[in-house]
Amino acid sequence: MRGNIGVMVGLAVLCGGLAVFVSRSWLDMQANQRLSEMDQTSRPVAERTIVVADQPLRFGNPVRENLLREVSWPADAIPAGAFERITDLLDGEPRSVLSPIERNEPVLAAKVTGPGQRGTLSAVIDDGMRAVTVRVNDVAGVAGFILPDDRVDVLLTRRTESGDNVAEVILQGVRVLAVDQTADQRREDPTLAKAVTLEVGTRAAQKVALASTVGTLSLVLRRAGDSDGEVTRTVTLNDLVSPSVFAALNPKTPVVNADNPEPDAASAPGDRMRARIGVIRALERAEYTVPARLGD
């Protein structure tokens, strides 16, 4: 009996020793792994210097040494077009700002002119594009809320040869280059402009030039980031009258409008192409039968 107790005690001691040995080995392994990770994270990161703005720079501002400074930057995260030294940026020829640069923002080659070039509007026009100016007023200019780099549609309001007034979209998703003589994209205060300069292709520039001689141009501001085109049609004076109002004034005349061009099938063919309008002169109402205009 005593022998069995001794064996059990020996086995218990052996198992306890093995448990302690395995636990210490696992803890040592975890500690070594932790030290290895700390050693890797504590290694110095390779750095280089790049040029950043020391204060906000706006379109057309000259780039001077007192407006710049050099800072350390991770070597594997340097943006394309960055300058390593101020002397690389100011290499004897003056440069100007093309796009707004905030304080501590890297100065990139795409945001400044080439050596000796001025910060003019021609420097920000994309390849193959042209700049054309549209004269606007406080209404056509969307109450002054159009700013450089916005997207707009161009509308033409004119009178046709038949004497009808129509409005049509001639350009969509056009980028605004400048408002009056301001091309600063970071400008936030709305102003009532007299002219808006747009970036368009050659054919679109011809359209704007011709449209300005035959009617009135208006601008429609698009949502930020929206440059997709859409199918449009010409809007006439008939579109300004609600079909329900027309039907109430002319209960015997079928309603024909651009939004629902299908006339009443029971009407005679001649009636489906004509409409009656009422005109009041000196408190007397007279009715006239006129051709109904179908939608474009």
Residue 252 host element (H or E): none
**CA nearest neighbour of 107 among 125, 126, 87, 84:** 84
Rounded mean pLDDT of the chain? 76
pLDDT of 259 reads 46
Which tops the pLDDT comparison, 289 or 141?
Answer: 289
Residue 41 maps to a domain: no
Whether residue 104 sits in one domain with residue 193: no
Domain of residue 66 covers 47-121
Residue 208 maps to a domain: yes
215-221 and 151-159 beta bridge pairing: antiparallel
pLDDT of 294 reads 45
Domain boundary among 121, 143, 175: 121
Residue 36 maps to a domain: no
- Residues in Cβ contact with 272 at an 8 Å cutoff, skipping those fewer than 6 apart: 254, 256, 263, 264, 292
Residue 26 maps to a domain: no
Domain boundary among 121, 143, 177: 121
Predicted confidence (pLDDT) per residue in 92-112, tens digit: 777 888 888 888 999 998 888
Residue 158 maps to a domain: yes
Residue 162 maps to a domain: yes
Q: Which 3 state secondary structure label does DSSP give 160?
A: coil
Q: Where is average pLDDT lowest: 162-166, 180-184, 188-192, 266-270?
A: 266-270
Per mean pLDDT, which of 24-33, 129-138, 148-157, 268-277 is the most reliable?
148-157
Which tops the pLDDT comparison, 64 or 296?
Answer: 64
Which tops the pLDDT comparison, 44 or 172?
Answer: 172
Amino acid at 254: P
Q: Which 3 state secondary structure label does DSSP give 136?
A: coil
**Mean pLDDT value across residues 48-59:** 88
Q: Model's pTM, two decimal places?
A: 0.54
Other Cβ atoms within 10 Å of 258 Cβ, number: 15
**CA nearest neighbour of 205 among 155, 170, 159, 166:** 170
pLDDT of 252 reads 54
Domain boundary among 95, 121, 147: 121
Predicted confidence (pLDDT) per residue in 240-294, tens digit: 766 665 555 555 555 444 444 444 444 444 444 566 666 666 556 667 666 655 4
**Mean pLDDT value across residues 64-86:** 88
Report the CATH number at residue 114: 3.90.1210.10
pLDDT of 183 reads 62
Q: What total number of domains does the chain contain?
A: 3
Which tops the pLDDT comparison, 50 or 242?
Answer: 50
Across 160-214, the runs of DSSP E, i.e. the strands, are 165-179, 195-200
Calpha distance 113→150 (Å, rounded): 22
Phi-psi region of 81 (alpha: psi -120 to 50; beta: other; left: phi over 0): left
**Mean pLDDT value across residues 183-210:** 78
Whether residue 263 sits in one domain with residue 216: no
Q: Is 129 a residue whose pLDDT tops 50? A: yes
Total residue count of the chain as it appears in this document:
296
Note whether 235 and 166 are within 8 A (CB).
yes
pLDDT of 266 reads 44
pLDDT of 269 reads 46
Calpha distance 274→267 (Å, rounded): 11
Return the structure tokens found at 296: 């474009």
Predicted confidence (pLDDT) per residue in 199-239, tens digit: 999 999 999 999 988 888 888 888 877 777 788 888 887 77
**CA nearest neighbour of 243 among 259, 264, 232:** 259
Whether residue 165 sits in one domain with residue 106: no
Q: Where is average pLDDT lowest: 10-14, 52-56, 282-286?
A: 282-286
Note whether 123 and 177 are within 8 A (CB).
no
pLDDT of 202 reads 92
